Structure 1
């Protein structure tokens, strides 16, 4: 894996196969990070999980990302990096709690509300226009969440609310990343993420430190490398294919997580999660397709 500048542009047809391959690697990496985090949490605190995940990320950066250090030393947009990573770290903490307490498929289905939060925050903070398709996607996403958590049928699991809060934090984080990309390379943003979140993780981990067992070390590697590989592979896929193609592919993480959860942990496959996740998926998918058609019409005109 390299965090260097992107390669030359290749025609879209030639990019289709590599784009799908990068997306498959991203999905597998997200699942691997989830399993690694859950296994680590069996013997250590969640705060330690975040710390060791970032520590492994630092080791990877030192191995493959040294070319980015001159840019990082310029410390451009440091305050914005700090704000973004505090929010992202909070989201990771809440998300990891969800991974430990909820079935894997439920976590990933609820996480797919993130595009809805991005739309809301972009409208509130960046003054971006809230189009009709995006408004309908927000309503559809809300309905999908209600199907998954089913309030009134039974007590809503607090962990599900934590995952929704994590998705909101990830949405805000993406808005801040959008601002950062105007001044920093994607690789530098990743390096700053590790440099800021590592001491944050350590500061929180020492307040709830548990003895580290040798059996947890392989899971540290799985979670840490999986986290970096997931985001890097996703970015590579987005360079090659439109989001309208990748959104339905990425949703395969939900049934993949259900199979892994069933195989490793005996988690029942909840059809309500599949139904609600499908509603969230289709709501976002129709919004992306509508905006794509609108861009094509504008270009043609």
Structure 2
């Protein structure tokens, strides 16, 4: 993303964080819209597996101008094996997420999704060999305690929808670790395009098992789903180019009130107080871990 031209250096430093926060907030609003459009498609009779495929199809159509602009170079990467693994993980995450929102409230799925950075930290420990000390282990434990507040094992709240939401969060965390590896060689445009291009044929196979042709009346909903998915990810990437990940994550919590508000207006859905409490505990833990990792990274850079 280009920096603002002209003005003082202090003005430019101020502009980037403001723009970054606005991009992140816009991304969260679009992701809330994605969840609502997806529920609408499933309420119209489409199976979650088919909705996943149609989401990827409309996303690819919207990415065609990017291919025209960048040319064939967008199709080449030295990391195709790593892309294949990430796409498989992403597909499973999507299927679990879409299935979850067909079973439980969208707000509850969103609250549980805040566990993804916790699973991402665990993945970084296992896959990347990162060293984690007591403070971050404690924050991880607190985060998973927040999940227990939402899920309440042994109570009436725990069911297939909740388990699928947790599985989606875990797979999203793993996908984030794989994304971190991809960014070492490829730019964000290439990662977004190749990921969606590879997801399309892979998501077709399970969709064919439950396929039914969408009606013309469903097209605006499906198009809205694709627009929210693509523009949401573009906004998220732009936000992360302007501000530090720890600051960006702080504003990602806006996704929950956005989602709850839209779901209430469209479906008259609400979530209980325990879900809000659990989401705040998970989110506070994730923010602490991200800030701690950023601080340690800066210390390592100064010591190098």
Report the TM-score, using the length of structure 1 for normalisation: 0.92
Instruction: Note the aligned Cα RMSD (angstroms).
Output: 1.9
CA drift at 1:268:
2.5
CA offsets per residue over residues 30-61 of structure 1, 9 Å max, x none?
01111111111122111211111111111111
Unaligned runs of 5+ in 2: 6-11
Separation of aligned partners in 2, 1:202 and 1:295: 41
User: Which one of 204, 219, 222 corresponds to residue 220 of structure 1?
Assistant: 222
Separation of aligned partners in 2, 1:289 and 1:74: 34
Aligned residue in 1 for 2:153: 151
- The answer to whether residue 2 in structure 2 is matched with residue 7 in structure 1 is yes
Structure 1 residue ranges (4+ consecutive) displaced by more than 6 angstroms after TM superposition: none
Tell me if structure 2 keeps the 8 A contact 1:148–1:277. Answer: yes
Separation of aligned partners in 1, 2:177 and 2:299: 26
The change in CA–CA distance for 1:270 and 1:57 in structure 2 (over 3 A counts) is same
CA offsets per residue over residues 230-273 of structure 1, 9 Å max, x none?
11111111111222222222112112222222221111231111
Tell me if structure 1 keeps the 8 A contact 2:47–2:210. Answer: yes
CA drift at 1:9:
7.6
Aligned residue in 2 for 1:261: 263
CA offsets per residue over residues 69-109 of structure 1, 9 Å max, x none?
42234342111111110110110000011122111111111
Aligned residue in 2 for 1:20: 21
Q: Could you say what secondary structure the match of 2:270 adopts? A: coil
- The answer to whether residue 105 in structure 2 is matched with residue 103 in structure 1 is yes
Aligned residue in 1 for 2:285: 283
Tell me if structure 1 keeps the 8 A contact 2:17–2:242. Answer: yes
CA drift at 1:296:
5.3
Aligned residue pairs, count: 296
Tell me if structure 1 keeps the 8 A contact 2:107–2:270. Answer: no
Aligned residue in 2 for 1:274: 276
User: Which one of 250, 260, 264 corresponds to residue 248 of structure 1?
Assistant: 250
CA drift at 1:295:
4.8
The change in CA–CA distance for 1:211 and 1:296 in structure 2 (over 3 A counts) is closer
User: Which one of 72, 81, 84 corresponds to residue 82 of structure 1?
Assistant: 84
CA offsets per residue over residues 262-297 of structure 1, 9 Å max, x none?
221111231111000000111122223334444555
Q: Could you say what secondary structure the match of 1:127 adopts? A: coil
Aligned residue in 1 for 2:9: none
Give the alignment of 1:115-194 within 5 angstroms: 115-154=117-156, 156-194=158-196
Report the TM-score, using the length of structure 2 for normalisation: 0.91
Tell me if structure 2 keeps the 8 A contact 1:57–1:225. Answer: yes
Unaligned runs of 5+ in 1: 1-5
The change in CA–CA distance for 1:71 and 1:149 in structure 2 (over 3 A counts) is same
Separation of aligned partners in 2, 1:278 and 1:162: 20
The change in CA–CA distance for 1:289 and 1:177 in structure 2 (over 3 A counts) is closer
